[in-house]
């Protein structure tokens, strides 16, 4: 085969090879779906008062979040069972559920993610920011969660976050009395575990 003809016949292959990185960069990344495991997820809350600090837990009911790396869009719902609230004191927990959280009327707190910033990929620990709406006590509140993601793989992921709920400012009753004064906000620490779908 003449040299010129050989070069021309290889041109399509050479062009495709040259364009491959650019085409790959334009290919939308896969959507990632995180499914949280309620049995492996811990939700701890802390409330201070003048005498001591009250600590308790809530149980996760369910949680599924979808991330679109190409657009930064997030969707899904993380649902917390507020009626599961437990501080180790039955009387205090009953008053918390009846008078403050009013769980008979508002049994759940729900976080609806809307967008995120940061990278999600297998490997080292990474930090992402998830913006969304926290629905609690019948009201929606814009919320930003800064999450540290570890052990990210095709089968498992662990994420931790801490945020503050100003429950009195959000319309819930202040349990303070003349004798006992408590903080008007509660700190929530979450360690969530689950599976990831869509990783390469």
Q: Tell whether 119 is covered by a domain.
A: yes
Residue 39 belongs to domain with CATH number: 2.40.128.110
Question: How confident is the model at residue 178, as a pLDDT?
Answer: 53
pLDDT at position 18 is 37
Query: Does residue 123 form part of some domain?
Result: yes
Measure the CA dihedral 157/158/162/168, to 10°.
70
Which of 42-51 are b and which e, b meaning 16 or more Cβ less than 10 Å from the residue's Cβ? ebebebeeee
What secondary structure letter does DSSP report for 148?
A: E
Residues 6 or more apart whose Cβ sits within 8 Å of residue 174: 168, 182, 184
Q: How many residues does the chain have?
A: 200
Q: Which tokens hold the place of 18?
A: 């040259």
- What is the pTM (predicted TM-score) of this model? 0.81
Per the domain annotation, does 175 fall within a domain?
yes
Which carries the bigger pLDDT value, residue 70 or residue 62? 62
Q: Which residue has the higher pLDDT, 3 or 159?
A: 159
Report whether pLDDT(21) > 50: no
- Name the residue with higher pLDDT: 84 or 16: 84
Kindly give, in sequence order, each residue whose CB lies less than 8 Å from that of residue 2, ignoring residues fewer than 6 positions away.
none
CA–CA separation, 33 vs 113, rounded Å? 12
Domain range for residue 170?
A: 28-197
Higher pLDDT, residue 163 or 151: 163
2, part of any domain: no
93 half-sphere exposure, CB direction, 13 A CA radius: 14
Q: Is residue 151 part of a domain?
A: yes
Name the domain count of the chain: 1
Residue that is written with structure tokens 């919320």 in the block: 143
Mean local confidence (pLDDT), 139-168 = 91
Does the residue 7 lie in any domain? no
Residue 163 forms part of a structural domain: yes
Q: What is the mean pLDDT of the chain?
A: 83
The SS3 call for residue 143 is strand
pLDDT digits (tens, 9 = 90+) for 94-144: 999 999 999 999 999 999 999 999 887 777 788 999 999 999 999 999 999
Specify if 6 maps to a domain: no
């Amino acid at each position: 085969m003449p040299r010129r003809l050989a070069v021309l016949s290889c041109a399509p292959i050479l062009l495709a090879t040259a364009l491959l990185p650019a085409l790959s960069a334009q290919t939308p990344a896969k959507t990632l779906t995180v499914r949280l495991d309620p049995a492996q997820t811990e939700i701890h809350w802390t409330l201070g008062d003048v005498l001591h600090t009250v600590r308790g837990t809530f149980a996760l009911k369910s949680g599924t979040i979808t991330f679109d790396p190409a657009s930064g869009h997030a969707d899904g719902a993380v649902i917390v069972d507020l009626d599961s609230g437990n501080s180790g004191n039955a009387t205090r927990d009953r008053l918390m559920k009846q008078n403050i959280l009013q769980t008979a009327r508002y049994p759940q707190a729900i976080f609806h993610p809307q967008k995120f910033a940061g990278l999600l990929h297998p490997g080292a620990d990474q930090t992402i920011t998830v913006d969304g709406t926290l629905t609690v006590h019948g009201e929606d509140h814009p919320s930003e969660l800064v999450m540290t993601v570890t052990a990210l793989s095709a089968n498992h992921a662990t994420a931790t976050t801490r945020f503050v709920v100003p429950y009195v400012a959000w319309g819930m009753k202040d349990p303070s009395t003349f004798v006992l004064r408590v903080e008007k906000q509660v700190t929530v620490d979450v360690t969530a575990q689950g599976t990831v779908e869509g990783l390469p």
